[in-house]
Structure 1
């Protein structure tokens, strides 16, 4: 019976069990055979699929090294791709951090430049302000110096200075003496756009240009020195003004004391004082609300000066000055004495001043000549009416230089010393009368001495 395909096939592969034989060994797997290598004298041999491949040791190690390098490269590549995002993130963060740091630094530098520029502008502005302040102070000091220069000499007494005997008679000064203005302020030359001039003996200091301000050294020190100098000038001006005020107030008190000592009515005399040709609208004196100490003191001085002017005009009618210059020597006083010709008690109505023939005789107050010529025992005599009942007589003159009706001023020469009339020698007989009655001239002369003492 024919055998089927499966049976035949089965028979090909199926063998009866032979329990007496050793079963055949199965061949090793192909992977094991491929990995097995034997070394002989010529190198390495690799068996794969029943084939044996031989190669030398150099080639073997090259292959091994290549495989190792490929493995490492693969590991590195895998690591790179695994950590690439993290690295990029860190790089970007670092770049941003550096950028922010640079921006912060730039902003800091810019702020520093701005602060420096602002500081320079502020310093320049402060410099200009200080300079403007110095200029304003200088202008004020110059105005004060002008005001001080306009102050009358408080020490002037109005008495006639004695010239040398025989010297030419000088007319009285046309105006009061004036103190010299203070001229030791600081010179400071301002830029062309500023008008300021400070005068002094100190060297000139030029203001630096604004664009060179940062390069100028010691500008603050210069300003400090200028301020110090101006302070010193201001103190001296205040001291000078205080001295003028004290002197003027003292003189006003002494001038008022003259009327008190002589028992004269100052208001009555002032009302009778002749007025010059003056006038104008009345404008009251106003002191600014922001006036400083100097301005207030100057205002007080001006008020005091007005009082002095009125008192001077009134005292000009009071005969308290000496009729002759030089040392005064009385040969006979006022009152009862022995008559030089009769030897009997007699009333002497004046003072006799020893003087040389020809010495000038000066009127002792403003007035008008009411008598001029020969008058009995007076010899050549001049009588001057000073108003308000006051009059003076000048007797025994050798010469007369005025006529009746002449208006005479204090210190004007009206004649010369002589010995005319009832006289025993050259001298001046001087009388002072109130309402026609003779009074002691020494009372007036002593008041004049006290007034001149200050």
Structure 2
């Protein structure tokens, strides 16, 4: 076997490589430094083969790591995006809560205003309107707060909130709520003050009315008997709160009105014509016919014939006829044992059994019966006994100062 072995020879032109085989020689001439170039190519081929082998060996590991890195990055981005979404949702929720809270506040104030309007209706039913609309103490005569219109309904499409951004809506709602709240506070204060003033005035007026009964010497009506006929006793609820206080004041006003109406049946008014003078008082006097001491059961009012005589209280006519020394006489039963008599009339304008009101004309001044001249003989009686009419007339003067 013949081995071909290259033989390198060098000359000035370049490298000469001679291959010998079977006695034959083949010469290959390379450019200068060609051997070095071939070596470099061989080295590059070796490195490429090593790199290719390493790539083939570690390809799956590298790809896996790259994929895991990409997946981790994607997960991080998704977490950041989720955090941003959550933050945006929290901001939106907070703004919605703030806006909804303001709107709910306005709705609450609207309900409060409706309650105050109902209270105003209650006050109007039981009080003098001037007491409700008057000035508060310390207001320097400023009028009480006028009622404002109800707030515009919220949440409707096209409303004022729909035309504003979230911040402006919150600001607008808060401003309206604050303004309305102050107005309602003042309205509530005005109503409370008016109610207390009315309560004080009612109590004072009722006290003075009852004093008229005391001056007249007759009992006044009892509060618990007003409009009642019986039934189980149930105490009033706690008087705290406006509505309970208003009920208590209304009860006081009912008592006052009942006491005032009761005076219609008490003879506290004058029966005589305007300008008439008292010619004879109640009690002991000298009898004009006999010239001897005698008891005078009433008061005589001197007046011209034909002037009107009026009822001093409401009641039922029990007599309207000629009655001995009284001449033409009218007697009225006022209830509770009270009665009045009017004598010496020239004519009678009522009939027996007729109901009369205070001030009703009963007849005309005259001089019938046991009389020495035209005058009105007027008596007041309790359970049939004559009492001085002057005490009733004085009580009537007190009543006039109250009315």
Band the TM-score falls in, shorter-chain normalisation:
0.5 to 0.7
Counterpart check, 1:96 vs 2:44? no
SS class of match (1:316): helix
**Partner of residue 386, structure 1:** 334
> Structure 1 unaligned runs (5+)?
1-29, 154-177, 184-198
- Partners of 1:69 and 1:329 in 2: how far apart? 154
Taking a change above 3 Å as real, the CA distance of residues 287 and 221 of structure 1, as seen in their structure-2 partners, is farther
- Partners of 2:148 and 2:243 in 1: how far apart? 27
Match of 2:15 among 30, 37, 45: 45
CA displacement at 1:74 relative to structure 2:
5.5
CA displacement at 1:293 relative to structure 2:
0.5
Match of 2:155 among 208, 218, 233: 208
- Please list, as runs of the form range in 1=range in 2, the aligned pairs for 1:239-318 lying within 5 A after superposition: 239-266=193-220, 282=231, 293-308=241-256, 310-312=258-260, 314-318=262-266
- Partners of 2:18 and 2:272 in 1: how far apart? 166
CA contact (8 A) 2:347 2:363 kept: yes
Taking a change above 3 Å as real, the CA distance of residues 313 and 450 of structure 1, as seen in their structure-2 partners, is closer
Taking a change above 3 Å as real, the CA distance of residues 204 and 302 of structure 1, as seen in their structure-2 partners, is closer
- Please list, as runs of the form range in 1=range in 2, the aligned pairs for 1:166-245 lying within 5 A after superposition: 179=129, 202=149, 205-209=152-156, 217=169, 218-245=172-199
Taking a change above 3 Å as real, the CA distance of residues 414 and 227 of structure 1, as seen in their structure-2 partners, is farther
CA contact (8 A) 2:306 2:366 kept: no
- Partners of 1:264 and 1:382 in 2: how far apart? 22
- Partners of 1:293 and 1:313 in 2: how far apart? 30
- Please list, as runs of the form range in 1=range in 2, the aligned pairs for 1:393-408 lying within 5 A after superposition: 393-394=341-342, 400-408=348-356
Deviations 1:305-350 (A, max 9, x none): 4534553454332222455798x886668468999x9999998843
- Partners of 1:124 and 1:397 in 2: how far apart? 84
Taking a change above 3 Å as real, the CA distance of residues 433 and 89 of structure 1, as seen in their structure-2 partners, is same
**Partner of residue 150, structure 1:** 125
CA displacement at 1:299 relative to structure 2:
3.0
Taking a change above 3 Å as real, the CA distance of residues 55 and 49 of structure 1, as seen in their structure-2 partners, is closer
- Partners of 2:346 and 2:243 in 1: how far apart? 55
CA contact (8 A) 1:251 1:451 kept: no
TM norm structure 1: 0.58
- Please list, as runs of the form range in 1=range in 2, the aligned pairs for 1:8-27 lying within 5 A after superposition: none
**Partner of residue 138, structure 2:** none
- Please list, as runs of the form range in 1=range in 2, the aligned pairs for 1:98-113 lying within 5 A after superposition: 98-112=73-87
Taking a change above 3 Å as real, the CA distance of residues 401 and 132 of structure 1, as seen in their structure-2 partners, is farther
> Structure 2 unaligned runs (5+)?
21-25, 134-145
SS class of match (1:238): helix
Deviations 1:50-74 (A, max 9, x none): 8764344697887577557556656
Taking a change above 3 Å as real, the CA distance of residues 368 and 76 of structure 1, as seen in their structure-2 partners, is same
**Partner of residue 350, structure 1:** 299
SS class of match (2:340): strand
CA RMSD of aligned residues (A): 5.4
Match of 1:412 among 351, 354, 360: 360
CA contact (8 A) 1:389 1:436 kept: no
- Partners of 1:319 and 1:91 in 2: how far apart? 117
CA displacement at 1:148 relative to structure 2:
2.9
- Please list, as runs of the form range in 1=range in 2, the aligned pairs for 1:370-385 lying within 5 A after superposition: 370-372=318-320, 382-385=330-333
Deviations 1:154-181 (A, max 9, x none): xxxxxxxxxxxxxxxxxxxxxxxx6599
Number of residues of Structure 1 aligned to a counterpart in Structure 2: 368
Taking a change above 3 Å as real, the CA distance of residues 410 and 46 of structure 1, as seen in their structure-2 partners, is farther
